[in-house]
Amino acid sequence: MKNKNDKKTQTAVTQKYMDEMMRMYRDRTPTENTSRVTPPTTIPPDPMDEVPLVQEELPDLPEENYGTLILEVTTARGDIPLADAHITVFTQDDGKRNIIAFLTTDKSGRSNSLALEAPPRNLSLSPDSDGKPYASYSTYTTMNGFYPVVNNNIPVFSGVKSIQQVNMIPLPEFQLYPDRDIVFNENEPQDLE
C-alpha cells in the first residue's frame, strides 16, 4: 500500500514540477542584453514575389552583380542531412536586420540556389579598391529538436556559387525548447585572388 501511495505522490510532484517549469518558461522576460536572433513573428505573404531570388527562376542574371548561395543543413558531424529545416537569409546594416529570403531544405538537406547581390568581381583586381569584393550575408536556421544556428558574415562573390554548411546540434534528451542560439562567425576570406 505504501509503494502505491509513494508512486502517486511522486507522479504528482513530478507533474507539479513540470507545470511550474513550463509556467516559468512562458512567463520569462528576455534580458535586455541578449543578442539572440529571432525569426519574424509575422511572415510576409510571399517574400519571393517581392525580390527575384532563386537562380532557377532568373537564368539571365549578369554574373558581375550576383553570386549564388546554397545551404547544406546536417547534424553536427555532417553525417545526416536534415530535411525541412527553416532558413532565414538576412543582412545587417547598422544593427538593423533586413530579411532577404525564407528557405526550406529538401530531403538531401540542401536549400534552393539563392541569387544574391554582390559587388562586381573587378573590385578584387584593383589594389586601390576601397570596397570588399564580396557581400556578407547571415542565416538563421531552425528545426524541431535542434538548437537554432546563426551563421554571420557568409561571403558571397559575384559569379561564384557558394555552399555554406550549417551544422545543427541536437537538444538534450529531455529538453523541449532551445535555451540559446549557436552562433558561428564566418571568417572573411584571406586570399582574394
- Provide the pLDDT for residue 60: 53
Using 50, 70 and 90 to split pLDDT, how confident is the model at 85? very high
Instruction: State pLDDT tens for residues 98-123.
Output: 999 999 999 999 999 999 999 887 77
3-state secondary structure of 118: coil
pLDDT per residue as tens digits for the range 121-169: 777 666 666 678 889 999 999 999 999 999 999 999 888 899 999 999 9
Buried b (16+ CB within 10 A) or exposed e, 111-123: bbbbbbebbbbeb
| The CATH classification of domain 49-185, taken from the options 2.60.40.1120, 3.40.50.150, 1.20.990.10, 3.40.50.300 | 2.60.40.1120
Measured distance CA(72)–CA(168) in Å, rounded: 10
Strand 149-157 to 182-185 pairing: parallel
Task: Using pLDDT thresholds of 50, 70 and 90, give the confidence band for residue 55.
Answer: very low
Q: What average pLDDT does range 86-95 have in this prediction?
A: 91
pTM of the predicted structure, to 2 decimals? 0.63
In the chain, where the domains are located? 49-185
DSSP 161: E
Percent of the chain with pLDDT over 90: 36
User: Concatenated DSSP letters for 25-62?
Assistant: HHH----TT-------SS--S-HHHHS--BGGG-TT--
| Displacement of CA 60 from its chain's centroid (Å) | 28
42, pLDDT greater than 70: no
Alpha carbon of residue 14 to chain centroid: 35
* Banded model confidence at residue 61, pLDDT cuts 50, 70, 90: low
Give the span between the Cα atoms of 87 and 166, in whole angstroms.
10
Region at 94 (left for phi over 0; alpha for psi -120 to 50; beta for the rest): left
Q: Which three cell numbers stand for residue 18?
A: 513540470
- Which stretches of the chain are DSSP H helices? 2-27, 47-50
Cβ atoms of 97 and 91 within 8 Å: the answer is: yes
Higher per-residue pLDDT: 33 or 178: 178
